[in-house]
Amino acid sequence: MSLRNLFSVASVCILLILPCSAILADSLDIIPDSTINQIADSSIETASIETESESIYPLSPERKEMLARYSAFKNIWRFISFFLGLGIMALFLFSGLSAKIRDWAQVAKKKFFILWLYLVIFMTIDYLLSFPFEFYRSFIIESNYGFMNQTFMEWFSEGLLSLLLSALIIIIPVWLLYYTIEKLKRWWLAFSLGAIPFIVFMVVVTPVFISPLYNDFTSLEDKQLEKEILALAEANGIENSNVFQVNASKQSTKLNAYVTGLFNTKRIVLYDTMIKNFTYEEIKFVMGHEMGHYVMNHLWKGLSLVIIFIMFSFWLTDKTIHKIIHKFKNRLKFEKLADIASLPLIMIYLSLISFLFNPISNGFSRYLEHRADIYGMENTEVSGESAAIAFDKLSVYNLSDPDPHPFIEFWFYGHPSLKKRMEFVRGYQRQ
């Protein structure tokens, strides 16, 4: 569930209604970073998929140095991006720009369309202000480290598509937010409950209607692999399971797999890059891990935590934000929370609360990931060594730090470190 799985859930719309969306992404994805970052046992005869791993795996001294540099950069960028986001929202507020956009939007006359026009203008300006930093992080850096498989125009076009989709959908949660603020004293409770069907709707429709706008999702080309995965699913009581491969190599060389969707849109997805570079045994462990998420209802547990977080965040916002508005009303050029010009201030609140909430959300996610690792070991016949090699390959191919600083893991990682996971599966004794 990332930009291509849950409509990036990082659009302004999802930032507003799912500031804790990392809970969902990290609880479903086998890669151990908040971004989409992250040989068989000799006693077992495994079928090897055609691979190019010889050029990258095992880890060479040169790639180890790259891994260290890339990991250090990502750790620094976590803080840079956080403060950049706060800075841009503060610019909207204290320059009076947000109030000016509100005034410009009055041309729409009716309140619903005033809100929508404000959002379109706000998002466009935010996109332009953020673009140099996004270009550097997502295109330049990814290209420099050999991950980027797109031309600038292909990358840029996908960014514009995300902006367009956000502009079409964002009005729903924003209208609900400002309607409840204006009409109800306990607006935070009404909004949180009203958010539930919207969140569920987005999780249901995204795999079917939004993700395919970015990539092609098809049945597995390797029919032997498909047969083994379906047999594994049936053995674990997962009937009518949907397993897809996605041409993620269109965008990046990184490896990944994830579970997404709800009800009849629920599916397990394998990146084509993983299929090319993992053996059958390694993929079976990955699938066992993902099936663990499926069987143990981790998506619903993640959704529950998201709702609790949304409710707490808006309750805390309601208790504290009015004093800020009153104190700075002359500078902000709005006097009440129900004014749409307050949106950047609300987003600052959500960003701060979400950042401080990270240890809780990521700790919960690490627990779910560990449970899925146990499930993968218990319900597949894959050796601990093969499972460990799968994790090691994720580290090498994605330049994911296998042994991050304890603080970084505690605050930012939705997965246990790869080193811990490798040690666990190597030492695991099946019941």
- Residue 238 has a pLDDT of 81
In the predicted structure, residue 37 carries a pLDDT above the cut 50: no
Order across the sheet with 243-246: list the strands: 217-218, 243-246, 267-271, 257-260
Which pLDDT score is estimated for 24?
Answer: 40
CA 62, CA 76: separation in Å to the nearest integer? Answer: 22
pLDDT value, residue 71: 97
Backbone phi, psi, residue 31, to 5°: -80, 135
Higher pLDDT, 240 or 155: 155
pLDDT value of position 411: 97
Residue the block writes with tokens 């939705």: 414
pLDDT at site 111: 93
Per-residue pLDDT, averaged over 400-429, amounts to: 97
Tell whether the model's pLDDT for residue 163 goes beyond 50.
yes
The encoded tokens of residue 56 equal 């990258």
What distance in Å separates the CA atoms of residue 58 and residue 39, rounded to the nearest whole number?
10
Domain locations in the chain?
12-427
Distance, CA of 396 to CA of 250 (rounded, Å) = 20
CA 387 – CA 431 distance, rounded (Å): 17
Rounded to the nearest integer, the mean pLDDT of the chain is 87
**Torsion angle of alpha carbons 279, 283, 284, 285, nearest 10°?**
110
Identify the weakest region by mean pLDDT among 9-23, 90-104, 163-177, 324-338. 9-23
Residue 100: what pLDDT?
A: 98
The secondary structure of 179-237 as a DSSP string is: HHHHH-TTHHHHHHHHHHHHHHHHHHHIIIIIGGGTS-EE--S-HHHHHHHHHHHHHTT
Q: Do the bridges between strand 243-246 and strand 267-271 make them parallel or antiparallel, or are there none, so unpaired?
A: parallel
pLDDT average, residue stretch 16-21:
39
pLDDT at 28: 36
Cut 0.85: pTM above it: yes
Residue 302 pLDDT greater than 50, yes or no:
yes
What are the CA-CA distances from residue 113 to residues 1, 119, 251, 291, 410 (Å)?
A: 30, 10, 35, 44, 43
Percent of the chain predicted with pLDDT > 70:
87
Confidence of residue 264 (pLDDT cuts 50, 70, 90): confident
pLDDT at 44 over 50: no
pLDDT of residue 151: 98
For residue range 164-222, what is the model confidence (pLDDT) as tens digits? 999 999 999 999 999 999 999 999 999 999 999 998 898 888 889 999 999 999 999 99
Two tokens at 354? Answer: 């979400």
Query: Per-residue pLDDT for 39 more than 70?
Result: no
Answer yes or no: is pLDDT of 29 > 50.
no
Task: Give the residue from 270, 289, 427, 312 showing the smallest Cα distance to 368.
Answer: 289
